[in-house]
A and B are shown apart, each in its own frame.
Chain A
């Protein structure tokens, strides 16, 4: 049973470019969450999505960041016009229900140069 799949694992972008991070939840999971881990800091919740709906984006920066979970295909975290401060590890997680155990993917490491 495959776990949460994220790609790319590592991504390098120049300042001002766009970064797209993809996440396929575990089989049978319809709830997806994105977390961010800045260097030397703990993981912080960003956004919670179900298919075609954003349920809670209270942890998402108001500008340049967006997330989607289309009816078909993976969830996408999009960062426009990246800046050096966006360099971080971005983790996707999924669950069968928001009250059930959350399982994390291996993460996508974004480096902005």
Chain B
């Protein structure tokens, strides 16, 4: 599976948009970009995934660059409950998700 690079941590102000970057320059044509998050002492929570096109759901938006070498997860209006570790995962559309260190996002009041 392609390797991903995420910043180890970032802060965000409550009510503002949080933009989480992810680099995946070795992504191959059949690999998807997945985002999960893990709030402390809880299980990973699915956020969104995409292949080529930008995607949006009730939780977030996923912007994938045209060359697919990077992507950005956007939380439109961050709340304190969005404080978590966010994982960007690249891989085939199957069950073997490879979680890295992720980005620890802290939303501050």
Using a CB–CB distance below 8 Å, which chain A residues touch chain B?
4, 6, 31, 33, 35, 42-45, 48, 56, 59, 91, 93, 95, 98-99, 101-107, 109
A residues near B46, Cβ cutoff 8 Å: 101-104
Q: Is B17 part of the binding interface, using a Cβ–Cβ cutoff of 8 Å?
A: no
Q: List 26 A-B contacts (CB under 8 A).
A: A4-B43, A31-B95, A35-B97, A42-B87, A42-B98, A42-B99, A42-B102, A43-B44, A43-B97, A43-B99, A45-B95, A45-B98, A56-B95, A59-B96, A91-B44, A93-B43, A93-B95, A95-B95, A98-B94, A98-B95, A99-B93, A99-B94, A102-B46, A104-B43, A105-B43, A106-B43
A residues near B101, Cβ cutoff 8 Å: 42
Interface of chain B: mostly helix, strand, loop or mixed? loop
Using a CB–CB distance below 8 Å, which chain B residues touch chain A?
36, 41-46, 49, 87, 93-102
Output the least CB separation between B32 and chain A (Å). Answer: 10
Bound form: Cα–Cα A98–B97 in Å: 11
Interface of chain A: mostly helix, strand, loop or mixed? strand
Please tell me which one of the listed residues B45, B96, B100 contacts residue A45 in the complex, with CB atoms under 8 A apart.
B96
Please tell me which one of the listed residues A48, A91, A101, A103 contacts residue B49 in the complex, with CB atoms under 8 A apart.
A101
Output the least CB separation between A28 and chain B (Å). Answer: 16
